[in-house]
Structure 1
Amino acid sequence: MYKLTGVTKRYTRGKDTVEALRGIDLTIEDGDQLVIQGPTGGGKSTLLQMIGGLDRPSAGSVELDGVDLASISEAKLTRLRAEKIGIIFQSFNLIPTLTAQENVETALVPLGVKPAERRERAAEALRSVGLGERLTHAPSELSGGQQQRVAIARALVKKPKVLLADEPTGNLDEGTRDDIMGLLEGLWHEYGLTFIMVTHDSSIARRAPRLATIKAGQITLTEQGGRRPLSQQYVQQ
């Protein structure tokens, strides 16, 4: 479970101080799906970075299962991210010189997984997102939708508890967007992930059980209904 208390983030720009987040309080239960939406510059990506441990707040706490990501050492934070949090980015962030399978394997290296097991788990993760026939293809040989599927497989191969997505369909056409969202929602239901996503797309936001609208660093929560995931079997204990 996530518990954010009084999360504030300030940036200094020249002589000015900008408050990207202003005292955010938020609880996210295990297995929740939360979409974060808001205007450009409103703080939505900054909030996702706090939740993912990619940045630290200027004030407040970000607790994941009772561990404050804002106060633990960098080494412990890096390990926690590697074990518990999978992240998908709008720009895919694939390594161009590696194959699809090798890109997915990179998520397992920090966990000390042996090479033979890495290869097997990466291949299985790619099969689970429909790319079983593309293991040896480089990113340049894949479509945008296929590259995003590789990125999803890379996020999931380590069996995280939390899946974060920052505009995961922002670079995709409408048809591919719907395919990727169907895949993500199916994985959320099947594996019991805590799924948190930033999007500017209102048609996607309307599908989520919970919507967090962030504007000028402040948040409004809306309960929109919807089902919880079908299984918790995939989640790390």
Structure 2
Amino acid sequence: MYELRNVTKLYTRGKEAVHALDGVDLAIADGDRLVIQGPTGGGKSTLLQMLGGLDRPTSGEVVLDGTDLAKLSESKLTRVRSENIGFVFQSFNLIPTLTAQENVETALVPLGAKVKERRERAAEALKSVGLGERLGHLPSEMSGGQQQRVAIARALVKQPKVLLADEPTGNLDESMRDEIMDVLERMWKELGLTFIMVTHDSSIAKKAPRLATIRKGKISVKENAGS
């Protein structure tokens, strides 16, 4: 599904050039679950942004299903993200004035889904993450774990091929972390997703089938015997 070829991302910090990614080669097959770890500033989130088409490399290719995301126009790239890629972030990114159901529905608007279809699919997505009784609640009326479940439902309601998660348990305590990981792993298995996650949590990384480590823009990948 994904193939990254000699991907470099260069930032300028004052007069200094910083390689967030430095000649990265990476293959991710359909249905893989890959966890990305590394020190702060090592390039983890930059790599995830490349995979999600949220940023473009300075050089190299980011190929998804035969298409180089780096060469797409902004409108075509937006379409790929809308149809094929779901995102979950540490900060939930819910709209505070919208209910859980309305927040999930927002992911279907760019796809042109009719109102009735949006409502039905959003309700079903929320039920799938254990929030069937919370459709009409605002984010402020839910716990952090519940808000992250809404964010997961929003990412998955459009039936993407890929789920990208950037520190999705970073704002949660240990018990909530485990609950959210259970939801994410169940969705990965049930939906046949390609699931790629950035985390600083070693207990999560040890359970992943594949672990990528990024340091100073360089990547190494290993099969995880502890998964």
Both structures adopt the same fold (TM-score exceeding 0.5): yes
2: CA distance, partners of 1:113 / 1:45: 31
Specify the SS of the correspondent of 1:11.
Answer: strand
State TM-score, norm by structure 2: 0.99
Q: Which residue of 2 aligns with 1:21?
A: 21
Aligned equivalents of 1:192 and 1:116: distance in 2? 26
Work out the CA distance in 2 between the residues paired with 1:188 and 1:155. Answer: 12
Structure 2 counterpart of 1:163, which letter?
Answer: L
Match for residue 158 of structure 1?
158
1:29-64, Cα deviation, whole Å (9 max, x unpaired): 000000000000000000000000000000000000
> Unaligned regions of 5+ residues in structure 2, if any?
none
Match runs of 1:184-199 below 5 Å: 184-199=184-199
- CA displacement 1:99-138 (0-9 Å, x = unmatched): 0000000000000000110000000000000000000000
Partner in structure 2 of residue 48 of structure 1: 48
User: Which deviations, in whole Å up to 9, do the C-alpha atoms of 1:49-95 show, x marking residues without a partner?
Assistant: 00000000000000000010001100000000000000000000000
CA drift of 1:225 comes to 4.8
Q: 1:187 to 1:203 in 2, by over 3 A?
A: same
1:123 match: 123
Distance in 1 (CA, whole Å) between partners of 2:106 and 2:16 is 39
TM norm structure 1: 0.95
**Pairs within 5 Å for 1:26-175:** 26-175=26-175
Aligned-partner SS, 1:7: strand
Q: Measure, in 2, the Cα distance between the counterparts of 1:226 and 1:58.
A: 35
4+ residue runs over 3 A deviation: none
* 2:220 corresponds to 1:216: no
- How far, CA to CA, are the matches of 1:32 and 1:189 in structure 2? 10
Q: What amino acid maps onto 2:69 in structure 1?
A: L
Contact 2:104 2:150 in 1 (8 A): yes
Aligned residues between the structures: 227
**Pairwise CA distance, 1:12:** 1.2
Could you tell me whether the CA contact under 8 Å between 2:206 and 2:226 is conserved in 1? no
Contact (CA 8 Å) 2:92, 2:148: kept in 1 or not?
yes
Q: In the TM superposition, what is the alpha-carbon distance from 1:17 to its structure 2 partner?
A: 1.3
In structure 2, distance between residues paired with 1:146 and 1:226: 29
Query: Amino acid of the residue matched to residue 55 of structure 2?
Result: D
State the Cα RMSD in Å: 0.9
- CA distance in 2: counterparts of 1:43 and 1:94, whole angstroms: 26
